[in-house]
Structure formats: structure tokens, C-alpha cells
């Protein structure tokens, strides 16, 4: 969990978590350990959700820990096994468990490693796209603390090696969302459903980005495209992006443009599989979409300011980017694309067996639980 240094509320929230964490640990000293799994994420995402639901359906004693109160309120009415990070009694259940699976970092992970025997697994949330100067120090702060770090494919494992990852805790499992999406793999004709899903709009100079969702010219271009060719265009900003109210209002007021609020997405798989074509720039959502055997348009947008360089996920000879509105339009209308999707999938998936991912993950979890001492 990252703290915004400019937001006092974040400090107070974090302090509240710390108090609950300490009291929960003290309570757990009087409890018996159970063969129980805790799943958690800063915000629930497809990978952690699929793992949690699959473990639950297969008789595992499993809980889900919510970091935000709004998510907890939303989930607790649907699932009594939902915990909240501010509740000491909920933390006591976590400390009396044997395994924590997280898609991101774990709160007070170093304390958990030092004072408990709980095993921890990072199940991942997206393939490694960023190649930054502080890779090794970042790995030590996060992934080195896990007993196991699960990766998308051998291709991603090679990426981490090139970035200086040296701890022997990586396992290639594949991502559960890939397994689910591959079930929908088809070659149906284009039904005119288009998804626009760029990465976070934290550009160095937004004014220079012609494909910015806050660029009214781009939005008008999309609206004209939708109206002239009867496309249904769904616009899904990155969850970190904060669009202008005027941009959101424009999208919502158009007949064939549809705005998707990330907080309102109840089923990511349903959203993805209902689309016939993906338009993105630097978002790893394209890796999920590759499983559907459907076309992708890559925009030549500015790089996010938080990334100094990209890994081979984006920095490769296969991906070809569109640089203008006319080129964008022609690819969709003519249904002829610059990128060779078959070669791209072969490169990214690297012979990954998509059909066995979830079963292999369950077996991996059972092994960790059985090896617990």
C-alpha cells in the first residue's frame, strides 16, 4: 500500500491499519493455526478474484482481505468471508492462517515474515512492462519478500532475469485470467464492438498527445467514427486516470460512445469477451485480449512519465503503432492491421499451456499448504 505524502488522510488511514494489525497479531497468539488461505489486493482484480473463487468452490478454507472500506462494504454483503483491514479480529484470522496470496505488495510484509511462519505468494496482476532504473531495489522491497513469485510465462521470467532479478522464488504458472479468456477464443466476424483502453494518463506533456481521452478532438473523432459506421465504442480509462468532468460528460452524451467507470465493472471477463477489437497504447490489457484471437490497434501515444523504458512486452519488432487519425480509421474500416497478432502471441505466451493454468495453481497452493511447518 502506497501512501500519498501530500494526503493527510492516507497517514491517518495507515495508522489505523497499524493499530488493527498489532491488536490482531496479539489476539492471534491465543488462537490455533488453521489450514486457511487469505487472498488480498489493493483493489480486487481478475487474477486474485479467480483464484479466490476457485479455491472457495473447491472446498478450501479461504478469506479475502479488502484494503478499502468502500470495497469491503460492496463485497461483505455478497460474501461473509470478506475481511477488512481496519478490523483487529479480522487480522487475528489472517495471523492464524497458513498462506497469504496477493496480487501486489502485502501490508507490513517484513513483520509477517519475521514474526510468523505464514507463507506468502505473489500471484501477479499484469505482465512486466516497465524497465526502470530502480528495478533491483524495487524487487528487494516487494517480490523478494515473497516465498513464491508467480509469473505469466517463460518469456516474462527471462525479462526479470534481464532486469537483474536474482532470488530463486519464481514459478511460471500463467495467469488465471488467461485460462478463462482462452475459453472464449473464437474467430467470429467483426460485430462492431470496440474497446478503448489506454494506460494511465500521466504524460509528460498531455497537450502533445493526440490520443488523450481528455483531448476533445480525439473524442469527436471517435464519435464520428461510431456514428458513420455504426460502431459501439466503449471507453475504459485506466483505473489511475482522472479524466476531466467535461470529457466524461461528452462521452456519456453521445449515442454510440459508452463510458465505463472502473468502480462499476462487475465482471472484467464479460467486458473483455464482449468486445471485437481492442484499442490501447501502453496497457498490458492487450495480453489478456490476445487470448481471444481478436485484433488490437496500438496507438503511438506518449509514454507514461513513470516509465523510463519498456520491456520486450512493448519494445519489440512485432507491435506496429498507428500515428494518425486517418491510419486509425483505415485499419478499423478496412479491417486490416499492421501488427502480426499470431507472432505476438507466440512471443508473449512462449508455449504456455493455457488450459491447465488454474489446475496447476491449485496444485501449487496445496503443495505450499502441505509443506507448511
Domains 8-174+354-370 and 182-349 share a fold: yes
Q: What is the pLDDT of residue 190?
A: 63
Domain chopping of the chain, boundaries: 8-174+354-370, 182-349
Residue-wise pLDDT for 227-253, tens only, equals 999 999 999 998 778 888 999 999 999
Structure confidence at residue 208 (pLDDT): 58
> Residue holding cell 510468523?
116
pLDDT at 4 over 60: no
**Would you say domain 182-349 falls under CATH 3.40.50.2000?**
yes
pLDDT of residue 204: 46
Neighbours of 86 (CB within 10 A): 17
The correct CATH number of 8-174+354-370 out of 3.40.50.11820, 3.40.50.300, 2.40.50.100, 3.20.20.140 is 3.40.50.11820
Three-state SS letters, the chain: CCCCCCCHHHHHHHHHHHHHHHHHHHHHCCCCCCCEEEEEECCCCHHHHHHHHHHHHCCCEEEEEECCHHHHHHHHCCCCCEEECCCHHHHHHHHCCCEEEECCCCCCHHHHHHHCCCEEEECCCCCCCECCCCHHHHHHHCHHHCCEEEECCHHHHHHHHHCCCCCCCEEECCCHHHHHHHCCCCCCCCCCEEEECCCCCCECCHHHCCCCCCCHHHHHHHHHHHHHHCCEEEECCCCCCCCCHHHHHHHHCCCCEEECCHHHCCCHHHHHHCCCEEEECCCCHHHHHHCCCCCEEEECCCCECCCCCECCCCCCCCCCEECCHHHHHHHHHHCCCCCCHHHHHHHHHCCCCHHHHHHHHHHHHHHHHHCCC
As a whole-number percent, the residues of the chain with pLDDT over 90 amount to 73
Longest dimension (CA), the chain: 68
* Mean residue pLDDT across the chain: 90
User: What does the pLDDT read at residue 88?
Assistant: 98
CA dist., res. 173 & res. 358, Å (int): 8
Is it the case that residue 192 has pLDDT exceeding 70? Answer: yes
Is the pLDDT reported for residue 3 higher than 60? no
pLDDT of residue 306: 77
pLDDT at 263 over 70: no
Are 195 and 279 within 8 A, CB to CB?
yes
The whole-model pTM stands at 0.91
- Stretch 325-351: mean pLDDT, rounded? 94
**At 308, is the pLDDT very low, low, confident or very high (cuts 50, 70, 90)?**
confident
Burial class (CB in 10 A: 0-12, 13-18, 19+), 373: exposed
pLDDT, tens digit (0-9, with 9 covering 90-100), for 125-135? 999 999 988 89
pLDDT of residue 283 exceeding 60: yes
Region of poorest pLDDT, from 94-108, 130-144, 204-218, 324-338:
204-218
Spatial contact of 96 and 33, defined as CB atoms under 8 Å apart: yes
Give mean pLDDT, residues 57-64: 95
Q: Which range, of 82-91, 92-101, 272-281, 296-305, averages the lowest pLDDT?
A: 296-305
> Of the ranges 203-217, 258-272, 314-328, which one carries the lowest mean pLDDT score?
203-217
Q: Is the pLDDT of residue 10 over 90?
A: no
Q: Grid coordinates standing for 236? A: 475504459
Range scoring the smallest mean pLDDT among 19-28, 67-76, 155-164, 196-205: 196-205
Crossing angle, helix 8-28 and helix 88-95, to 10 degrees?
Answer: 50
Residue 149 confidence class, pLDDT cut points 50, 70, 90:
very high
Amino acid at each position: 500500500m502506497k501512501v500519498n505524502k501530500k494526503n493527510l488522510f492516507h497517514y491517518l488511514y495507515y495508522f489505523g491499519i497499524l493499530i488493527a494489525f498489532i491488536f490482531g497479531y496479539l489476539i492471534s497468539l491465543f488462537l490455533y493455526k488453521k489450514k486457511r488461505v487469505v487472498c488480498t489486493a489493493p483493489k480486487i482484480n481478475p487474477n486474485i478474484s479467480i483464484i479466490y473463487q476457485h479455491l472457495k468452490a473447491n472446498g478450501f478454507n479461504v478469506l479475502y482481505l479488502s484494503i478499502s472500506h468502500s470495497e469491503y462494504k460492496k463485497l461483505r454483503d455478497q460474501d461473509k468471508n470478506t475481511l477488512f483491514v481496519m478490523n483487529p479480529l479480522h487480522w487475528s484470522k489472517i495471523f492464524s492462517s497458513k498462506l497469504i496470496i496477493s496480487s501486489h505488495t502485502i501490508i507490513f510484509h517484513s513483520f509477517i515474515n519475521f514474526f510468523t511462519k505464514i507463507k506468502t505468494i505473489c500471484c501477479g496482476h499484469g505482465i512486466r512492462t516497465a524497465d526502470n532504473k530502480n528495478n533491483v531495489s524495487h524487487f528487494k522491497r516487494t517480490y523478494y519478500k515473497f516465498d513464491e513469485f508467480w509469473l505469466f510465462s517463460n518469456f516474462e521470467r527471462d525479462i526479470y532475469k534481464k532486469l537483474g532479478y536474482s532470488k530463486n522464488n519464481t514459478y511460471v504458472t500463467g495467469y488465471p485470467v488467461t485460462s478463462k479468456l482462452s475459453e472464449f477464443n473464437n474467430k467470429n466476424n467483426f460485430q462492431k464492438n470496440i474497446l478503448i483502453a489506454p494506460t494511465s494518463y500521466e504524460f509528460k506533456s498531455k497537450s502533445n498527445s493526440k490520443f488523450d481521452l481528455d483531448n476533445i478532438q480525439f473524442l469527436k473523432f471517435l464519435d464520428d467514427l461510431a456514428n458513420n459506421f455504426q460502431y459501439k465504442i466503449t471507453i475504459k480509462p485506466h483505473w489511475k486516470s482522472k479524466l476531466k468532468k467535461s470529457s466524461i460528460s461528452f462521452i456519456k452524451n453521445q449515442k454510440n460512445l459508452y463510458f465505463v467507470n472502473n468502480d462499476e465493472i462487475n465482471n472484467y471477463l464479460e467486458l473483455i469477451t464482449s468486445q471485437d477489437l481492442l484499442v490501447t497504447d501502453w496497457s498490458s490489457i492487450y495480453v489478456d485480449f490476445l487470448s481471444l484471437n481478436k485484433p488490437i490497434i496500438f496507438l503511438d501515444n506518449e509514454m507514461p512519465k513513470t516509465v523510463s523504458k519498456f520491456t520486450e512486452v512493448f519494445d519489440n519488432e512485432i507491435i506496429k503503432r498507428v500515428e494518425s487519425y486517418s491510419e486509425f480509421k483505415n485499419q478499423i474500416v478496412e479491417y486490416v492491421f499492421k501488427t502480426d497478432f499470431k507472432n505476438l502471441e507466440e512471443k508473449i505466451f512462449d508455449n504456455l499451456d493455457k488450459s491447465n493454468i488454474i489446475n496447476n495453481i491449485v496444485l501449487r497452493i496445496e503443495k505450499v499448504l502441505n509443506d507448511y511447518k
